[in-house]
Amino acid sequence: MNKSQIKGLKKASRVIHAGGHPDSETGAIIPPIYQTTTYVQSSPGVHKGYEYTRSHNPTRTRLEECLASLEEAKHAVVTASGISAAMLVMHAIPAGSTVLLSDDVYGGTYRLFTTVFQDIHNFVFINTTDIKEVEKKIKEHKPHLLWIETPTNPLLKITDVKKVTTISKKYKVKTLVDNTFMSPYFQNPLTLGADIVLHSMTKYINGHSDVVGGALMLNDKKLYEKIWKLQNSLGPSQSPFDSWLVLRGIKTLAIRMEAHQKNALQVAKFLESHPMVEKVIYPGLKSHPQYKIAKSQMSGFGGMMTFFLKGDIKKSKKFLSKIKLFSLAESLGGVESLIEHPAIMTHASIPKETREELGITDNLIRLSVGIENVDDLINDLDTTLKAIR
Ligand code: P1T
């Protein structure tokens, strides 16, 4: 199939066929891993588009083709991690830029901005779910970039991307959306007006907890070229083997995301009705404050949720140490269910006062609901809640 035929396919087909053409030399249906550092030239400067694997690699090119297709983008850059994708964006904007960003971002993103780039750019954390606040802060700070995570990690706050980008465009501010929690299967921020989409491919895109990777998708050719040159100069390119693993994992993105959200909705309903649970935050619950926005800009609700246990830090620790089928671990988006304590684990680099202001309290627990049998997952939660009562 050619590129325009693939463009006409639904996402469940594109995950398999975009970048998935058979190998032209042998007809192999699964593309080879181009495990090579360099490429032979017929005379100096005459080559087939590949010179050195830090710059380009055919396996990575295939993955970039697939990701661009899934995010409805013209260009994609695959990086060695989600954080290195964020680093490239920070180098791509002019030094001294102001970046307005969602107050509730992944702890590693917060750490990158506040401990590595804090002397190069100005970071202003705001509640991007409040549209009036966004416009007020844009007028006040004249930022170069608006950085949105939606849903946020860990509190699953949802920003209305269309509304926010209408404002940012008015003031000529670029908007980046970290789309990690939804994956390109459930949300396409570029079609809602965003300029750049960032993913930690470590999560749903790869889906099997065996690769660290990141990606940026965008339409602006000039910005793409700038980001690619930075990648080439700074070096956070993904290895061919890791790109190949992601190409393998992404083929099941559609069915995995459907399974994640089906399980997650049942788990969320179970927890919401449980007497030992204070509150559940899941975009697919009507009780979620931005449920309507979630419904309008996402085609599904994903597999991530947080809940507040009734009790203190001791109770949280007891619960997390006793639970069995959910593994106590950082990260998310794999087929297996994970559970973690954001304040102690993924968001520990955020100062305690800031965490508490945001609501990342000692009784907050985050779930990445996997695709196991949902009755087993609910039984595991139920049994553990009973055991700590
Ligand atoms: O881990 P890495 O591939 O570098 O991706 C960083 C990243 C970026 N954006 C979001 C929304 C993320 O959740 C992450 C990584 N998050 C975890 C490791 C976690 O457990 O939340």
Q: Which domain holds residue 280?
A: 253-388
Catalytic residue among 39, 54, 295, 317: 54
Q: Is the CB of 109 under 6 A from ligand 1?
A: yes
Query: Are the beta carbons of 21 and 58 closer than 8 angstroms?
Result: no
Q: Whose CA is nearest to atom 2 of ligand 1?
A: 82
Residue 212 Cβ inside 6 Å of ligand 1? The answer reads yes
Beta bridge partners of 200: 214
Catalytic residue among 34, 106, 110, 204: 106
The reply to whether 220 belongs to the active site is: no
Rounded mean pLDDT of 250-276? Answer: 98
Of the residues 104, 178, 242, 380, only one is catalytic, namely 178
Instruction: Examine the residue annotation and report whether 14 is marked as an active-site residue of this protein.
Output: no
Instruction: Give per-residue pLDDT as tens, 208-232.
Output: 999 999 999 999 999 999 999 999 9
Query: Looking at residue 129, what is its pLDDT?
Result: 97
Q: What percent of the chain has pLDDT over 90?
A: 98
Domain boundary among 215, 250, 285: 250
Residue 271: both structure tokens together: 């927890």
- Indicate if ligand 1 lies below 6 Å from the C-beta of 242: no
On whether both 54 and 67 belong to a single domain, the answer is: yes
In this prediction, residues 228-244 reach a mean pLDDT of 98
The response to whether residue 346 sits with its C-beta less than 6 Å from ligand 1 reads: yes
For residue range 352-363, what is the model confidence (pLDDT) as tens digits? 999 999 999 999
The alpha carbon of 82 and the centre of ligand 1 are apart by a number of angstroms equal to 6
**Atom of ligand 1 at shortest range from CA of 202:** 3
Residues 163 and 213 occupy one common structural domain: yes
Same-domain check for residues 236 and 265:
no
Read off the pLDDT of residues 33-48 as tens digits, 9 standing for 90 and up: 999 999 999 999 999 9
The CATH number of residue 152's host domain is: 3.40.640.10
Q: Which of 213, 228, 250 is the last residue of a domain?
A: 250
pLDDT at 345: 97
Q: Residues 6 or more apart from 216 whose CB is under 8 A from it?
A: 76, 77, 79, 85, 88, 89, 196, 197, 198, 199, 227
pLDDT digits (tens, 9 = 90+) for 158-194: 999 999 999 999 999 999 999 999 999 999 999 999 9
Q: Which helix (H) or strand (E) holds 25?
A: none
| Buried-state track 89-126, b at ≥16 Cβ within 10 A, e below 16 | bbbbbeeebbbbbbbbbbbbbbbbbeeebeeebbbebb
Question: Is 243 close to ligand 1, i.e. is its CB under 6 Å away?
Answer: no
If asked whether residues 98 and 16 sit together in one domain, one would say yes
Query: How many of the other CB atoms lie within 10 Å of CB of 156?
Result: 25
Assess whether 174 and 71 both reside in one domain.
yes
**Residue 42 vs residues 45, 47, 258, 336: alpha-carbon distances, Å:** 8, 6, 48, 48
**Pick from 174, 203, 30, 194: which is nearest to 90 by CA?**
174
Q: Does 167 sit in the ligand 1 pocket, CB within 6 Å? A: no
**Residue 61's pLDDT is what?**
98
Q: Which helix (H) or strand (E) holds 124?
A: strand 122-126
Does residue 178 carry a catalytic annotation? yes
Whether residue 2 has pLDDT greater than 90 = no
DSSP secondary structure letters along 256-274? HHHHHHHHHHHHHHHHHT-
What's the domain count of the chain?
Answer: 2
Give yes or no: residues 95 and 217 share one domain.
yes
| pLDDT value of residue 1 | 87
Q: Tell whether the model's pLDDT for residue 371 goes beyond 90.
A: yes
Mean pLDDT estimate for the chain: 97
The answer to whether residues 231 and 264 belong to one domain is: no
- Centre of ligand 1 from the C-alpha of residue 286, in Å: 27
How confident is residue 338, by pLDDT bands cut at 50, 70 and 90? very high
Q: Is 83 in the pocket of ligand 1 (CB under 6 A)?
A: yes
Q: Do 285 and 347 share a domain, yes or no? A: yes
Looking at 250, 284, 305, the residue that finishes a domain is 250
Phi (first) and psi of residue 237, to 5 degrees: -90, 150
Calculate how far, in angstroms, residue 228's C-alpha sits from the geometric centre of ligand 1: 21
Same domain, 274 and 176: no
pLDDT band at 3 (very low <50, low <70, confident <90, very high): confident
Q: Name the residue with the closest Cα to ligand 1, atom 16.
A: 331
Tokens of 50: 């590949």
Tokens 């700070």 locate to 141
Give nearest CA residue, ligand 1 atom 21: 331
Cα(363)–Cα(308) distance, integer angstroms? 5
Reported as a single tens digit per residue, the pLDDT across 274-301 is 999 999 999 999 999 999 999 999 999 9
Same structural domain for residues 61 and 20?
yes
Same domain, yes or no: 298 and 207: no
Which among 148, 177, 200, 304 is the best mutation to test ligand 1's pocket, defined by most ligand atoms within 8 Å of the CB? 200
Residues 6+ apart with CB under 8 A from 276: 309, 310, 311, 385, 388, 389
Q: Do residues 87 and 72 share a domain?
A: yes
Distance 106 CA to ligand 1 centre (A): 6
Pocket test for ligand 1, best of 81, 106, 182 (most atoms within 8 A of CB): 106
Task: Give the three-state DSSP class for 191.
Answer: helix
- Helix pair angle (82-92, 221-234), 10° resolution: 110
Distance of CA 284 from the midpoint of ligand 1 (Å): 22
Q: Find out whether the beta carbon of 179 lies less than 6 Å from any atom of ligand 1.
A: no
Pocket probe mutation, ligand 1, options 78, 104, 149, 180, max atoms within 8 Å of Cβ: 180
CATH number of 315's domain? 3.90.1150.10
Tell me whether residue 54 is one of the annotated catalytic residues.
Answer: yes
Among the options 203, 251, 355, 366, which is catalytic? 203
Residue 203, Cα to own-chain centre: how many angstroms? 7
pLDDT in tens, 64-117: 999 999 999 999 999 999 999 999 999 999 999 999 999 999 999 999 999 999
